[in-house]
């Protein structure tokens, strides 16, 4: 099945080779029309740098899948510069498919800059063009396998592009391949180069490109890597004249072998360096393009120096561990920033990594861990999830998103409920002691007497609530940040909701207390006469709470309500009442004040609407009404991680251990409303 390609512009360089007799002019050049024909692309396999696999691969562009503009015209640019209209030198017109070739007629403008380029081309100084195109869909044919695509059989490894869009043409000073000189009246083979972005430049620098090299020098270096497959001579130094030699017949096979040898060199040097804790030296040897034998001698020298210094074969303190720590911190913060988590001071490098996809971060984690970074994206991500710090980074990010969702969830129970801790899941008992006896008068020569206390007990227990979720390889390859941010954040919100459900269920369930009587009951003296919020109904509730007696029934407790808790349905009416200063009628006590104006901390909770849209509650001080209990006092959700078994990726388990109980009924009052 064709794979959808992430939008990214690629380029193919083509050159005007066949000249008219011994002259330098291309045969198709028309001075009067200021035009020349160019073969923009063919179906001949060409080596490209594949950003998905992060290595050069052979690619075929199927002419049956090309998308051409409706007017069959694209801009002709100066060296792919697209930032100014002055960079437009003309246009590529009459785009058409001729057999297995895509042909365009380039027409130059009459402006001075275009005239200069046209003259240089006419004189033979400029011969190279580059077509820019975007790959939309492709089929990857694995190595040593064959696949029929559009009626033709292809043998892998091969990237067959089945859907692509032509975007622009450019005239360039240097082409990608001296063997790709075309077009007179027949097309010849072409060579591929990709747009010089930061990732490709880093890849080239890791293979010896000077850090300060220009784009032109970088492209030359990229071509020189391909030239390795044409001869046994070393890669030329940047800026040195290239040797002219004809490539062997089976160029693609030679290039494929060269790529394998380069991968083998890098892998062997890294493995050798890691064996003796010399990762930094190993990376340096790779960048210097040292052979395996040279690298082995350098590693032995380093071991000898370590032994002479008294360190023996103990792991030397080097910078690679510090680099891994810094990368973990920077990578974690970059993911959090992309996931809209506010970070006061991001780790150094986090802002630079912010533009990298999850797949690119996985590749970078492999590189820092000294693991191979090439090959199929699925295999690469799979290695990153088992052989690098990437699982730790993902888990840390998921944990941060989880807590972010938990802490920002709009819960209200914390405002009026107490918080407690239990050490296990057994049924707990909480003693509810009575007030101390009043002090008694002691007559002269009389004896002091001990006071007594009675007590009640309330029983409760906590439970575990949890869910599983996974971050899959597919999500990482597709750069699905939602899977990494929104999913754990949503589970954090779910954990917060569950605690709120448990807390408010105490009010709505009206379960039995330790005395066997329901929480809100006439026997408990905490049920008001049903009615809407008013001075009368609230006054009654305030009186009932103040007149509650201790367990011994000897004294009034004078509890004062602090919280007004109600369903959202009556919020508007209740707020009008609490914000009205004068409640008398126009003719009947017009100056009668509302003694409850601005009173109480008012909480409106939609969970209460599910049980009753009219009932409202008064609650006393926190800790004397409903208490929410957590295992060992841990109020945050807990997340566990393991390598995916039922899914390809990382599995996460989120849980929270909580329970709630009314510790007393005296500081709670319910009114059924009206």
- At 435 the three-state DSSP class reads coil
Burial of 516: CB neighbours in 10 Å, binned 0-12, 13-18, 19+ = exposed
Residues 213, 205: Cα–Cα separation, whole Å: 9
Query: 264-312 pLDDT, tens per residue?
Result: 787 778 777 766 667 777 777 877 778 888 888 888 777 766 555 444 4
Same domain, 149 and 92: yes
Helix (H) or strand (E) holding 339: none
| Whole-number pLDDT of residue 508 | 96
With bands split at pLDDT 50, 70 and 90, how would you rate the model's confidence at 239? very low
- Answer whether residue 76 shows pLDDT above 60: yes
pLDDT for res 183? 37
> Mean pLDDT highest for which of 103-112, 271-280, 341-350, 619-628?
619-628
131 and 263 part of one domain: no
Which structural domain, as residue segments, surrounds residue 289?
256-308
Give domain status of residue 457, yes or no.
no
Are 178 and 293 contained in the same domain? no
Res 45 pLDDT > 90: no
343 and 292 both lie in a single domain: no
Are 278 and 188 within one domain?
A: no
> Would you say residue 7 lies in a domain?
yes
Domain endpoint, select from 144, 176, 195:
195
Are residues 348 and 277 part of one domain?
no
Which is nearest to 596 in space by CA: 537, 547, 512?
A: 537
| pLDDT value of position 10 | 65
Highest mean pLDDT, choosing among 33-42, 438-447, 529-538, 591-600 = 529-538
Residues 144 and 265 occupy one common structural domain: no
Q: Which of the listed ranges 194-208, 230-244, 501-515 does the model predict with the highest average pLDDT? A: 501-515
Higher pLDDT, 21 or 153: 153
Which stretch, 156-170, 270-284, 552-566, 602-616, has highest mean pLDDT?
602-616
Query: Could you tell me if residue 587 is inside a domain?
Result: yes
Mean pLDDT across the chain: 80
Higher pLDDT, 409 or 295: 409
CA nearest to 323, candidates 365, 289, 271: 365
Strands 152-155 and 146-149: antiparallel
Average pLDDT over residues 652-658: 95
**Phi, psi (deg, nearest 5) at residue 41:** -165, 155
Domain assignment of residue 634, yes or no: no
| Bridge partner residues of 171 (DSSP) | 78, 129
- Residue 337 and residue 304 in one domain: no
Task: Check if the beta carbon of residue 388 is closer than 8 Å to that of residue 371.
Answer: yes
| Cα–chain center distance at 125 | 49
DSSP label at 349? T
Q: Output the pTM of the full model.
A: 0.58
| 295 shares its domain with 335 | no
Is the domain of 145 the same as that of 280? no
Neighbours of 387 (CB within 10 A): 15
Contacts of 110 (CB under 8 A, 6+ apart): 34
Integer CA distances (angstroms), 428 to 107, 502, 624, 661, in order: 88, 17, 17, 11
Is 235 a domain residue?
no
Rg (CA), the chain: 39
Task: Evaluate the CA torsion angle 268, 272, 278, 279 in order and state its sign.
Answer: positive
> Where is pLDDT greater, at 309 or 170?
170
Does residue 429 form part of some domain? no
Cα separation of 42 and 187, whole Å? 8
CA distance 502 to 592: 41
Closest CA to 334 of 390, 290, 384, 382: 390
- Say how many domains are in the chain: 4
Place of tokens 């126009």: 586
Q: Say which residue the tokens 């080779």 belong to.
A: 17
Q: Which two tokens stand for residue 507?
A: 């009010």
Q: What is the pLDDT of residue 38?
A: 82
User: Are 265 and 157 in a shared domain?
Assistant: no
Mean pLDDT lowest among 58-72, 178-192, 417-431, 577-591:
178-192
Model confidence over 338-373: pLDDT tens digits? 998 988 899 988 888 888 889 989 988 988 888 887
Q: Are 180 and 18 in contact (CB under 8 A)?
A: no
Among 149, 174, 195, which residue terminates a domain? 195
The whole-angstrom separation of Cα 271 and Cα 250 is: 32
CA 571 remoteness from chain centre: 40
Which of 349, 365, 400 corresponds to the end of one domain? Answer: 400
Q: Is residue 478 part of a domain?
A: no
């Amino acid at each position: 099945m064709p794979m959808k390609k992430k939008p990214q512009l690629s380029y193919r360089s083509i050159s005007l080779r066949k000249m008219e007799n011994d002259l330098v002019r291309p045969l198709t050049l028309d001075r009067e029309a200021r035009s020349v024909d160019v073969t923009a692309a063919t179906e001949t396999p060409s080596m490209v740098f594949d950003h998905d696999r992060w290595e050069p691969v052979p690619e075929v562009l199927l002419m049956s899948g090309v998308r051409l503009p409706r007017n069959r015209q694209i801009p002709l640019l100066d060296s792919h510069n697209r930032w100014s209209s002055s960079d437009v030198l003309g246009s590529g017109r009459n785009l058409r498919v001729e057999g297995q070739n895509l042909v365009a007629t380039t027409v130059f403008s009459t402006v001075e800059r275009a005239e200069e380029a046209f003259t240089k081309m006419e004189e033979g100084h400029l011969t190279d063009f580059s077509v820019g195109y975007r790959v939309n869909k492709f089929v990857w044919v694995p190595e040593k396998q064959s696949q029929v695509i559009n009626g033709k059989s292809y043998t892998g490894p091969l990237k067959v592009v089945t859907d692509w869009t032509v975007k622009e043409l450019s005239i360039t000073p240097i082409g990608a391949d001296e063997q790709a000189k075309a077009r007179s009246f027949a097309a010849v083979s072409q060579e591929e180069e990709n747009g010089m972005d930061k990732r490709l430049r880093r890849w080239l620098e890791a293979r010896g490109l000077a850090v300060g090299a220009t784009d032109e020098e970088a492209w030359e270096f990229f071509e020189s890597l391909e030239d390795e497959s044409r001869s046994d001579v070393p890669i030329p130094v940047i800026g040195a004249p290239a040797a002219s030699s004809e490539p062997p017949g089976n160029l693609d096979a030679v290039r494929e072998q060269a790529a394998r040898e380069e991968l083998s060199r890098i892998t062997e040097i890294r493995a050798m360096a890691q064996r003796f804790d010399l990762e930094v030296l190993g990376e340096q040897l790779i960048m210097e393009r040292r052979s395996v034998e040279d690298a082995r001698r350098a590693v032995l020298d380093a071991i000898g120096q370590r032994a002479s210094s008294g360190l023996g074969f103990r792991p030397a303190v080097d910078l690679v561990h510090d680099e891994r720590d810094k990368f973990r911190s920077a990578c974690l913060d970059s993911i959090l920033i992309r996931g809209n988590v506010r970070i006061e001071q991001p780790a150094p490098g986090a802002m630079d990594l912010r533009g990298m996809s999850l797949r690119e971060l996985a590749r970078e984690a492999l590189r820092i861990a000294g693991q191979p970074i090439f090959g199929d994206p699925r295999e690469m991500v799979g290695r990153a999830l088992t052989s690098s710090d990437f699982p730790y980074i993902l888990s840390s990010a998921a944990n941060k998103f989880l807590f972010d969702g938990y802490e920002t969830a709009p819960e209200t129970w914390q405002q009026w409920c107490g918080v407690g801790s239990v050490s296990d899941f057994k049924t707990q008992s909480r003693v509810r002691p009575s007030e101390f006896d009043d002090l008694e008068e002691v007559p002269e020569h009389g004896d002091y007497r001990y006071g007594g206390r009675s007590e009640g007990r309330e029983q409760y227990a906590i439970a575990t609530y949890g869910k599983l979720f996974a971050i899959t390889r597919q999500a990482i390859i597709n750069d699905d940040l939602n899977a990494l941010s929104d999913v754990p954040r949503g589970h954090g919100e779910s954990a917060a909701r569950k605690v709120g459900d448990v807390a408010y269920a105490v009010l709505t369930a009206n379960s039995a207390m330790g005395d066997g009587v329901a929480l809100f009951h006439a026997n408990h003296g905490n049920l008001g006469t049903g009615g809407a919020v008013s001075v009368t109904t609230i006054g009654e509730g305030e009186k009932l709470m103040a007149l509650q007696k201790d367990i011994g029934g000897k004294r009034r407790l004078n509890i004062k309500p602090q919280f007004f808790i109600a369903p959202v349905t009556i919020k508007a009416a209740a707020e009008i009442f609490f914000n009205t200063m004068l409640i008398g009628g126009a003719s009947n006590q017009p100056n009668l004040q509302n003694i409850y104006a601005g009173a109480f901390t008012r909480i409106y909770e939609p969970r209460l609407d599910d049980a009753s849209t009219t009932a409202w509650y008064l609650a006393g001080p926190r800790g004397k009404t409903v208490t929410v209990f957590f295992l060992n006092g841990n109020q945050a959700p807990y997340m566990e991680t393991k390598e995916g078994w039922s899914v390809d990726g990382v599995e996460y388990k989120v849980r929270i251990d909580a329970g709630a109980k009314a510790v007393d009924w005296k500081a709670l009052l319910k009114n059924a409303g009206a």
